[in-house]
Amino acid sequence: MTNHLTAIVLAGGKSSRMGRDKALIPIQGVPLLQLVCRIAESCADTVCVVTPWQERYQHLLLSTIEFIKEVPLSGETGSEQLPHGPIIGFAQALAYVQTDWVLLLACDLPKLRVEVLQEWTNALDSVEGEAIAALVPQAKGWEPLCGFYRRRCLPSLVEYINRGGRSFQEWLKQHPVQALPLPDPEMLFNCNTQDDLFRFQSQVQ
């Protein structure tokens, strides 16, 4: 456990592909957001949930969890065709962070493994100085929603967003990133659709 880590859990998605709020889906009786926050608390001393809907979730979570309200950007009404995207919620939360490192987690990761996150956390001191993040490499690029970012990436992130950028992949291509080892690829399984949820539930029964 490090004293230099804040966890940010993103719970601002509209869950349109799932058809219902992913954060509230019970995983073996525990709402998914609550499960992810518990795991985050085992790795970080501060856990923040970024969402426009604090009142929807606050009864689920311990009072030690901090909420950061995700708000539309100026000029947005929330009904645009262009996606607001997780990168916006991340940037808004990062502005409040005091620690050098941040663990960023999506709220739809039912197979997160505490021991892997803790191993990664313990290795942060060895991440190269120029790297702005430590993430798992995937076929499509980096896995942005389960990994670590240095707080000092915020100015670059804000500049990218202000230019209209909404893609984590495009932003990360502009910077050095250190690769994290992934002992179990299933750990990054995320529940985006009813089919994903059915597949997961059939595996745990």
Rounded to an integer, what distance in angstroms lies between the CA atom of residue 114 and that of residue 121? 10
Q: Say whether 11 counts as a known binding-site residue.
A: yes
For helices 154-162 and 86-94, the axis angle rounded to 10 degrees is 140
Output the CA torsion sign for 195, 116, 27, 169: negative
Which residue is associated with the tokens 């309200």?
Answer: 69
Q: Say whether 125 counts as a known binding-site residue.
A: no
Q: Say whether 61 counts as a known binding-site residue.
A: no
Rounded to 5°, the CA angle 122-107-126 comes to 15
Let me know: does 2 contact 148? Beta carbons within 8 Å: no
Q: Say whether 131 counts as a known binding-site residue.
A: no
Rounded to an integer, what distance in angstroms lies between the CA atom of residue 185 and that of residue 158? 31
Let me know: does 157 contact 163? Beta carbons within 8 Å: no
Residue 37 zone, left/alpha/beta (φ > 0; ψ -120 to 50; rest): alpha
Q: Say whether 94 counts as a known binding-site residue.
A: no
Annotated binding site: 10-12, 22, 108
Binding residues for Mg(2+): 108
Annotated binding site for GTP: 10-12, 22, 108
